[in-house]
Amino acid sequence: MIERDIPESIADRLESMDKNKRKEFLDSYHKALVEPGEAVGTIAAQSIGEPGTQMTLRTFHYAGVVELSVPLGLPRLIEIIDARRNPKDPRMIIHLEKDIRKDEKKANEMAKKLLEVFLPDICDMKIDVKNNQLRIETNDEDIKKVLMKYTEDETGGDVYVIEKESLYDLKKIQNKLAKKRIRGVKGIKKVFIRKEGDEYVLYTNGSNMKVVYGMSGIDKKRIISNDIRQIYETFGVEAGRNIIVNEAVKVLEDQDLDVDIRHIMLVADQMTVTGEIQAVGRQGISGSKESVLARASFEETEKHILMAGLRGEVDTLDGVPENIIIGQPIPIGTGMVKLAIKSSLAPKKPIEGKKETAGENKVLDGKVSDVKKKIEKLDSADYKALIEAEKKGENRKTLLKWLESQID
Amino acid sequence: MDNELVPKHEILDEKEVEKLLQLYNVTPRQLPKIKEGDPGIMGLDAKIGDIIKITRNELVVGRNIYYRVVVRD
């Protein structure tokens, strides 16, 4: 390989080197390159899959008012690779803007702004069964605004009363009110403030990238979530790819597993080739392959074959599974290359000493028994010519004898 | 998009496009894709068919360049 065939990112590094160093560098660069035809995908799959067998299969469950389960290890890795829309444990790390970074008060304010607060969290709600009344006691301005829609009479300032004829209607209203979000950002269930160095950082349980990114007072450069879909939607494919790599690496590092990052990068790149995030599996990469046979060999065989029949799909047999199915060499490694030769270099006579037989005597090709059958089928055979041809050609004695016997 | 997760996106000019396609012996259709409305290329004024050069800063690998073609949403 010549120097100009080197990708830009490598070529930049060469500039500062002298001749010897450059040669050494290029040598090791070429050595490090993957050979053409190497089955990198299979190797990546195995390299992630084998350590995967040693990961925790557990999902941690926290008992409590709201059931919370935190997937670690394999379950989390599966979440990442499947590009799930709603991960079990979404989190955000929010840094604050430069001028309020070191202000604990401002950090607390921000946390308050983020934290999702529901109506029953901050007020007393009681059903008075005797009088068919729902009494809500509060002094919160935000709640008052919400309650205005339901009731008009403001008895004694802080107490709101909703009256309905049946208890059932009252309960219905109560349930509705219980789900009303008074403050905060949808989905942010908890906010912790941690001091890192001399700045305050907010860690949240629950993630809502779109809304939080639009808020003021937040360092937009460093805001991060572990929800792959949300990152993709707000920052684009490249950020989505990066978060896939980062999250997968985090999981593997957590479990003390040593997987080369390049395998993960390959998976992440493959998940984002189309410009959006695709899961690995029948909904994503495997399900959108071009070849019918490759898709059918993975999952939902009948569906794919049936639809291919209806649409008249053509399989060009470019991939591995389809060639395994029909029993051909697979296009991997040495199977990728085909032999070609310049016609000027080709030997004049066929190889293996097979002498050329005249065009009219193709009948003589093949096994003796086959040749006999072929000749018998002919209406009129010129046996003398055939004998001559056979003598020049393979000169099989049994065939010659038979041919002579046929003359009579 | 100004976030540490978003690497630098640039539009390649024609000369560089030709060089790139020759180096990897590919057609633009074979390159990875990026949607026209992707937040990463917002403000670049990229048209469908343009090739975007992405300068990534990878964890172990370091500086790495990737290319994507702009496609319809």
ipTM of predicted complex: 0.94
Distance of CA A114 to the CA centre of its chain: 31
DSSP conformation class of A30:
H
Q: Please report whether residue A306 resides in a domain.
A: yes
The CA distance from B3 to the nearest CA of chain A, in Å, is 4
Question: Average pLDDT for residues A189-207, to the nearest whole number?
Answer: 86
Longest dimension (CA), chain A: 132
Q: Please report whether residue A352 resides in a domain.
A: no
Q: Please report whether residue A243 resides in a domain.
A: no
Number of domains in chain A: 4
pLDDT digits over A88-104, tens only? 888 888 888 888 888 88
Residue for token digits 């460093």?
A222
Residue at which a domain ends, from A214, A230, A249:
A214
DSSP conformation class of A163:
E
For residue A219, what is the nearest residue in chain B, using CA coordinates? B3
Beta strands in A73-178 (DSSP E): 91-95, 117-118, 124-128, 133-137, 154-155, 159-163
Residues from chain B contacting residue A262 (CB–CB below 8 Å): 60-61
- Give the residue from B1, B4, B5, B63 with the most A CB atoms within 10 Å of its CB, the best one to mutate: B5
pLDDT digits over A302-330, tens only? 999 999 999 998 988 888 899 999 999 99
| A76: exposed, middle or buried (Cβ count in 10 Å: 0-12, 13-18, 19+) | buried
Chain B residues bordering chain A (beta-carbon distance below 8 Å): 1-7, 9, 23, 32-35, 38-41, 54, 56, 58-61, 63-66, 68, 71
A308 vs A10, more confident: A308
Report whether A208 contacts A186 (CB < 8 A).
yes
Q: Please report whether residue A226 resides in a domain.
A: no
Q: Residues A124, A200: one domain?
A: yes
Among A127-136, A146-155, A285-294, the range of highest mean pLDDT: A285-294
Domain boundaries, chain B: 8-71
Q: Residues A363, A324: one domain?
A: no
pLDDT of A4 reads 56
pLDDT-above-90 percentage for chain A = 15
Q: Please, which residues have CB within 8 angstroms of residue A262's CB and are 6 or more apart in sequence?
A: A44, B60, B61
Distance of CA A288 to the CA centre of its chain: 12
For residue A2, what is the nearest residue in chain B, using CA coordinates? B23
Q: Please report whether residue A327 resides in a domain.
A: yes
The Cα–Cα gap between A389 and A400 comes to 10
pLDDT of A155 reads 59
Q: Which two tokens stand for residue A17?
A: 């080197």
The CA distance from B55 to the nearest CA of chain A, in Å, is 9
Residue for token digits 């002498």?
A355
Q: Please report whether residue A244 resides in a domain.
A: no
Question: Average pLDDT for residues A338-343, to the nearest whole number?
Answer: 82
The C-alpha torsion from B58 through B62 and B63 to B67, rounded to 10°, is -40
Question: Average pLDDT for residues B26-41, to the nearest whole number?
Answer: 90
Q: Residues A322, A390: one domain?
A: no
Question: Average pLDDT for residues B23-40, to the nearest whole number?
Answer: 90
pLDDT of A351 reads 60
Question: Average pLDDT for residues A129-144, to the nearest whole number?
Answer: 76
Q: How many C-alpha atoms does A242 have within 13 Å on its Cβ side?
A: 25
Q: Please report whether residue A105 resides in a domain.
A: yes
Residues from chain A contacting residue B58 (CB–CB below 8 Å): 261, 265
A345 vs A408, more confident: A345
Q: Which two tokens stand for residue A141?
A: 């301005």
Domain B8-71 classification at class level = alpha beta
Q: Does the pLDDT at position A160 exceed 80?
A: no
pLDDT of A58 reads 64
Residues from chain B contacting residue A33 (CB–CB below 8 Å): none
Q: Does the pLDDT at position A361 exceed 70?
A: no
CATH of residue A307: 1.10.150.390
Question: Average pLDDT for residues A365-383, to the nearest whole number?
Answer: 76
Nearest CA-CA partner of A37 in A337, A340, A338 = A337
pLDDT of A1 reads 41
Question: Average pLDDT for residues A27-33, to the nearest whole number?
Answer: 85
Residue span of the structural domain in which A330 resides: 292-334
A69 vs A360, more confident: A69
Report whether A178 contacts A66 (CB < 8 A).
no
Q: Does the pLDDT at position A289 exceed 60?
A: yes
